[in-house]
Structure formats: C-alpha cells, structure tokens
Structure 1
Amino acid sequence: MTGYALSTRNTAAGQLVVELRSVNARFLDLVVRAPDELRSAEPALRELIG
C-alpha cells in the first residue's frame, strides 16, 4: 500500500512543512531532511514515528 500526506503550518519562527510518503515496504526507513538547526530534534521525531 502507498500513501502520501502534506501539512503546512506558519509559526513565528517561519513555515513548517511536513511531507510523509510511504511505499510498499516491510521495514521503516525514515529519511529526515531538515536544516542543521533542527537536526537535534531528529531522535525525538524518529521515536515518535517509529
């Protein structure tokens, strides 16, 4: 099964865009593309999603 979702939010810090795509796969392969300033949030994001 495949899926796609896109959400955009405007905040005081700027615009946040979250895009989720899934394809037929047996395992989770999470790819995070974010500016260096947000890299510290990646472990928490992985834990939340995974």
Structure 2
Amino acid sequence: MKFIALFSLLSFIWVYYHVWYEDPERSIPGKLLWTLAALFFSIPTALVYFLAKRRQ
C-alpha cells in the first residue's frame, strides 16, 4: 500500500514538473487541467501524459 502511495506522489510530481516547467507553449487553463487531473488521478494521468508527449 505504501508503494502505491509513493508511486502516486511521484507520478503527480513528474506530471506537475513537466506541465509547468518543460511545456512552455501550453496555455494556463491546459496546465491547470493537467495539474488537477494529476492531483486526483495521478497514475493514469501520468501514463496518458507520457503517451501523449511521446507522440509529439
């Protein structure tokens, strides 16, 4: 259980960092949407974000 919590926290931090610091062309509402999604659904959001960024 602790592993899942730690992995969720790391997933949120990874998405947060990439959205706010590594993606300057994304709009503020888009950044907020990704951040909220990562806050509530951290692991699935990180997976979707990773796959979406890999396509670009």
Higher RCO (CA < 8 A, seq sep 6+): 2
User: Could you tell me the TM-score, scaled by structure 2's length?
Assistant: 0.31
Which of the pair is proportionally richer in strand? 1
Which of the pair is proportionally richer in helix? 2
User: Could you tell me the TM-score, scaled by structure 1's length?
Assistant: 0.34
